Chain A
Amino acid sequence: MGVRDALLTDAKTFMFDADTFGESVVYYPHVDYGQTATSRTIDAVVIRNQIVAFDADGNESVVPSFDVYVANDAVKGISAAELNTGGDQIALPVREGKAAERRQIIHLVSQDHGVLQLQCN
């Protein structure tokens, strides 16, 4: 195993582990009508933000937004190949200590061989 493989392995196991920086969330892949919904529990690092959004009249409101870092992996995280920003959801607590609720994956913000950065609203 080379250094590159070691770093990828570390990223997928250490960084997202619920005992270190991560937490367990549930990933719900997009399903078309008539298909059976599936889900799987994955580890992720979730950064909970409040961002300013504007409505049609230019009025501001502050809304929750989430930077979610997951392993680029179809088992431990979400693979870039399977990701579908047209319907994939992640169930996570909007606030620490609250019950998890499903949030839509809006954007794939950044990606590399080891990690995907996702934006959920």
Chain B
Amino acid sequence: MSLIEARPVIERIMRTVHQRLQVLLSDVYPNSPVCEVIRPTRTVSYTPKSWQIVLTLGEEEVNEAQGRAGNPPAIAYDAQINIYCHLMPSETDSTPIDEYQAIFYADVVEALTDSGDAGWWAMGGNAINSHIQAREGIASDGGVDGFLVPLKVCYRVSEWSPYQVRY
């Protein structure tokens, strides 16, 4: 069993999303000079930077309609993965912040959906479906700080084992 298989299904999905977003660190998306893609530790001690992506797992809910009977039964969950995209360009930068946000959002969507396999939404065979939600602004006292891309992922596991994907 590889290390990744030794993680619960939701963690495998998080790692898949993290891996896909890391493509933004390369020259594939030259308009988005992403500096890092991080998953915070317990102390949430990272410092915000421009063109930084912070990935967190949000709320999870049981999806009754996608559950399956059986022995053991299969439990489906809707999980929200929060993709925070921080933008803090120079005070002297005359480019409209909306332009930067539009570019950043577009490249995040492309990176997420360019999975190389048949269905990006399956998250490497770990999910039933995924939806990218509309972005939400992150404001602060100092102006716009970026935006949030909520990613809804539905996955199904054995009631007895959150490690086991159920189709």
Contact among A56, A84, A86, A103 for B47, CB-based, below 8 A: A103
Q: With A94-B45, A106-B142, A121-B47 given, is the CB distance from A84 to B33 under 8 Å?
A: no
Asked whether any CB of chain B lies closer than 8 Å to the CB of A53, the reply is yes
Contact among B45, B58, B88, B91 for A56, CB-based, below 8 A: B58
**Residues of chain A within 8 A of B48, CB atoms compared:** 104, 106, 121
Asked whether any CB of chain B lies closer than 8 Å to the CB of A76, the reply is no
How many angstroms from the CA of A85 to the CA of B140 in the assembled complex? 12
B interface secondary structure, majority: loop
State which size class the interface on B falls in. 20 to 34
Q: In the complex the two chains form, is B50's CB within 8 Å of A55's CB?
A: no
**Residues of chain B within 8 A of A121, CB atoms compared:** 47-48
* 13 A–B pairs (Cβ distance < 8 Å), ordered by A: A56-B82, A57-B59, A61-B44, A63-B45, A64-B43, A86-B92, A101-B47, A103-B47, A104-B49, A106-B142, A107-B141, A107-B142, A121-B48
